[in-house]
Structure 1
Amino acid sequence: MVAAGAIGTLMEYYDYYLYGLAAAVVFPAVFFPNTDPAVAVLESFGSFAFGFLLRPIGGLFWGHIGDRFGRKPALMATVIGMGICTAAIGLTPSYASIGIVAPILLLLFRLLQGLFVGGEMGAAATLVVEHAPVGRRGLFGALLISGAGVANVASAGFMALLGAGSASFFMAWGWRLPFVFALVLSVIAVVLRSKLEEPEEFKQHTQAVELGQVKRTNPLKEALRHPKNALLGILIGLPQSIASYVVLTFGIAFIVSKGTHAQVGFIGTMIVGVLQIFAAPFWGWVSDKVGRRKFYITAAIVFALLLYPAFALYSTNVAVLIWLGMVIGFVIPGVAMQSTLQTMLTEMFDVEARITGVNIGYQFSNMLGGFAPLIATALSLAFGSILPIIIFAAVVVLIGVIATGYASFRPDVENAGRLHALA
């Protein structure tokens, strides 16, 4: 069950990490070649942000399917759609081949990719957390982020391996192969998810509806019955939504602009992914012990404090120090936030609207976070310093911390870990 849930998260993060790596290194030359290099990076990160626009719509649509008809149908559709759209990006001809049509197709496939990705995390997190034993929901939910770590290793490993050869081959065809490989991941995901069983809590709710014991409700309407939680869920997710996109996605463009070879960034991202696989369940376990609200707030504050040291290490142009910057900037605080968020969001909504509620918080916050590389690049170009980027991140963290403090969680779920530990 966890593997079936995590494979979709792996695909989601594989697609987005891969696109982020390509947006930082490849796409400026392949799809936006007729502008100043700095402007081309802005345009490339603009296309990265563009893909987030349909994620909230996808979250609402697939959330409705998952809450109304079952977790499994939604989870099957999203992995098929993600695989097809990611492969299509890899097969899109370059600007040199078809002119302006090339970036237009890139944006189209990126939008469609976001539509399917939008439904993934809510359904996967809901499925895994609903199956988890009481007192271990944080650990089980965090295993999805271990899948994201595998995605980090796979996407960066592919790019590093292919980038180690001929530069002309890599820019013409090499970068495309990891995108097409998404079809293989899609097939694996379909096989794993074909054996899924609906969670017992959802089965009981469905049976109660069929027996007329409870009324069938509209998931979106039900989620918005608690408008405070719906809004706060978006604000809570903001700090984690910018963490990887500032530290890793923009970070690679930053080190390349300083003269460091992109290969250093690829290898560093791969190292981060390996550590993430093991760090995520540890952070989830800790959140079960100390409480998710306190843990998430602490991780967000630590992220704001460690961002400046991380970029100071990036500025050294020394590979080992750059990799250390990636670890302290993302693996410690960023993975801690990501490992906690999806479980925390499931604890804010009832079963009949849980996927929709999680998707509202997760996808709307990630839509805003998806603009972080573009914002960071613009701030860097405008001020010639990373200080405005640090301030931007600190403001986002402040918003997330305040929202987490005000959010309402189901007490029996939020305290389950601590009660379990005392038993």
Structure 2
Amino acid sequence: MSALSSKQRRAIAGGAIGTLMEYFDYYLYGLASATVFPAVFFPHDSAVVGTLASFASFAFGFLLRPVGGLVFGHIGDKMGRKTSLMITVIGMGVCTAGIGLIPSASTIGIAAPILLLFFRMFQGLFVGGEMGGAASIVVEHAPAGRRGLFGALLISGAGIANVASAGLMTAVGSGSQSFFITWGWRIPFVFAAVLAIVAVVLRSKLEESDEFKELAAARALKPKTRNSPLKDVFRHPKNAILGILIGLPQSIAGYIVLTFGLAYMVSKGTHAQVGFIGTMIVGVLQIFAAPLWGSLSDKIGRRKVYIGGCIGFALLIYPTFVLYGTQVAVLIWLGMIIGFVIPGVAMQGTLQTMLVEMFDVEARTTGVNIGYQISNTIGGGFAPLIATALSVAFGSVWPVIVYAAVISLIGIIATAYASFRPDVENAGRLYT
């Protein structure tokens, strides 16, 4: 395996730091939604209503993700991936740090949850533009036969985010409960500002890919030609729609297993620290598992790996929640591993490369954003809320298991019917 060039290393680092921030923000918010926000921002509700309200605020942040995907997808396809990625990473850092600075509802009343929704909404807007630009610039820099590996390294960044978010929450939650609820939980959120500064430094050194430079040069020769990335995406309407459906299973996997799962195990009497530590373990394994799944997709095909992940998720979600119900830390951690690291990371580690290879270079950032962000909005964003409502309504976790299986089936069918760009390296081997 040949050594990577400095340009390729900068592309991977610049892309992965943004994915790290995206998942750091959202995993952190998910952990806080399950354990902190009901008491801090919705203290006058019952435990169940407070959790539902907290998860509703979690879902609210996904509503502007498709808008962000379109706005920053247009910027990325017209002005360059680097420009888009610089704006999104600054916006994510400001919004996440802002959440950590909101006074509690007991201090400023209803203004507290309103501010939470405000920052959460704009956090979603900037996150919405992140994956399309990051996936495009990283995969475009990949050498022949290693696109799957390069794309999966973004999910290694998500694993680092898992470790960082859960690790910080574990550290600040190890002291008194009063400190954790009052001040401790805020520290990881404010730390996002530091991550944003690091990301800006790394992304300032990014270079556009040769593929995008060729497109820019061709456009310069026809300055009066107006093109719309969104219109270009819908020159392949089947792929635009199937990209959304393909992304649904991976979008709910982490939020059911790790976010709703944390609230579920806490409701059964397990201490939240057990879930935080388990999320850290999952993150460590994710760092190494993602590139393995990506490399496998380079060898046997993305379609096979992704469909295998969907099947695995549908089959393993039940034993995962059985292990959660034991209230035994080691068994809970095992459940998190078999429920997410095996099937979830297989899907996450493959998806972004598949989406990149479904769209032409002139509309790629927009196309990836449409598939990734809409699927994450209607899938992942509402998954904890839907799962909580189902488990409360039926008094059982079985409806959640059926919900996960149905979404997995949709992903399998969509992946089987998707088509890919004919000029992609090894396209015939990878997708037939």
Distance in 1, matches of 2:225 and 2:158, equals 37
Q: Please provide the CA RMSD for this pair.
A: 1.2
Distance in 2, matches of 1:147 and 1:197, equals 20
Residue in 1 that maps onto 2:232: 222
Distance in 2, matches of 1:414 and 1:237, equals 22
Q: Is residue 2:237 matched to residue 1:251?
A: no
Amino acid at match of 1:321: L
1:242 shift after superposition: 0.1
Distance in 1, matches of 2:208 and 2:422, equals 25
Residue in 1 that maps onto 2:173: 163
Q: Is residue 2:18 matched to residue 1:8?
A: yes
Residue in 1 that maps onto 2:30: 20
Matches within 5 A, 1:223-372: 223-369=233-379, 370-372=381-383
1:215 shift after superposition: 4.2
Distance 1:213-1:113 versus aligned 2 partners, 3 A rule:
closer
Distance in 2, matches of 1:414 and 1:314, equals 43
Structure 2 spans left out of the alignment, 5+ residues: 1-10
Higher mean Cα deviation, 216-225 or 284-293?
Answer: 216-225
Distance in 1, matches of 2:37 and 2:187, equals 14
Of 197, 202, 227 in structure 1, the residue corresponding to residue 207 of structure 2 is 197
1:410 shift after superposition: 1.7
1:411 shift after superposition: 3.6
Q: Is residue 2:75 matched to residue 1:65?
A: yes
1:46 shift after superposition: 0.4
Distance in 2, matches of 1:356 and 1:5, equals 16
Amino acid at match of 1:3: A
Cα deviation per residue 1:310-344 (whole Å; 9 max; x = unaligned)? 00000000000000000000000000100000000
Q: Secondary structure at the match of 2:56?
A: helix
Of 186, 194, 210 in structure 1, the residue corresponding to residue 220 of structure 2 is 210
Identity %: 75
Residue in 1 that maps onto 2:8: none
Cα deviation per residue 1:173-224 (whole Å; 9 max; x = unaligned)? 0000000000000000000000111110000011011112994411011111
Q: Secondary structure at the match of 1:339?
A: helix
Q: Secondary structure at the match of 2:424?
A: helix
Distance 1:225-1:138 versus aligned 2 partners, 3 A rule:
same
Distance in 2, matches of 1:216 and 1:309, equals 54
Higher mean Cα deviation, 184-193 or 402-411?
Answer: 402-411
TM-score (norm 1): 0.98
Distance in 1, matches of 2:157 and 2:316, equals 24
Of 47, 55, 61 in structure 1, the residue corresponding to residue 57 of structure 2 is 47
Residue in 2 that maps onto 1:391: 402
1:42 shift after superposition: 0.4
Contact 2:144 2:425 in 1 (8 A): no
Of 379, 390, 400 in structure 2, the residue corresponding to residue 379 of structure 1 is 390
1:418 shift after superposition: 4.9
Q: Is residue 2:423 matched to residue 1:407?
A: no
Contact 2:145 2:425 in 1 (8 A): no
Distance in 2, matches of 1:99 and 1:235, equals 40
Contact 1:125 1:346 in 2 (8 A): yes
Contact 2:421 2:427 in 1 (8 A): no
Amino acid at match of 1:81: G
Distance 1:120-1:146 versus aligned 2 partners, 3 A rule:
same
Distance in 2, matches of 1:188 and 1:38, equals 39
Distance in 1, matches of 2:224 and 2:135, equals 25
Distance in 2, matches of 1:201 and 1:85, equals 33
Distance in 2, matches of 1:230 and 1:10, equals 26
Distance in 2, matches of 1:377 and 1:242, equals 13
Of 136, 145, 162 in structure 2, the residue corresponding to residue 152 of structure 1 is 162
Amino acid at match of 1:406: Y
Q: Secondary structure at the match of 1:413?
A: coil
Cα deviation per residue 1:295-318 (whole Å; 9 max; x = unaligned)? 111110110000000000000000
Of 125, 128, 148 in structure 2, the residue corresponding to residue 118 of structure 1 is 128
Contact 1:288 1:418 in 2 (8 A): no
Distance in 2, matches of 1:304 and 1:88, equals 37
Distance in 1, matches of 2:146 and 2:270, equals 42
Amino acid at match of 1:380: S
Q: Is residue 2:189 matched to residue 1:179?
A: yes
Distance 1:254-1:9 versus aligned 2 partners, 3 A rule:
same
Contact 1:209 1:216 in 2 (8 A): no
Contact 1:145 1:277 in 2 (8 A): yes
Distance in 1, matches of 2:348 and 2:173, equals 29
1:294 shift after superposition: 1.5
Contact 1:134 1:416 in 2 (8 A): no
1:414 shift after superposition: 6.5
Q: Secondary structure at the match of 2:95?
A: helix
Contact 1:135 1:416 in 2 (8 A): no
Distance in 2, matches of 1:213 and 1:185, equals 38
Contact 1:14 1:151 in 2 (8 A): yes
Aligned residues: 419
Distance in 1, matches of 2:352 and 2:112, equals 36
Distance in 1, matches of 2:200 and 2:173, equals 30
Q: Is residue 2:111 matched to residue 1:101?
A: yes
1:415 shift after superposition: 2.8
Distance in 1, matches of 2:427 and 2:163, equals 33
Cα deviation per residue 1:353-405 (whole Å; 9 max; x = unaligned)? 00000000000000012100000000010111111001111111111111111
Distance in 2, matches of 1:147 and 1:215, equals 38
TM-score (norm 2): 0.96
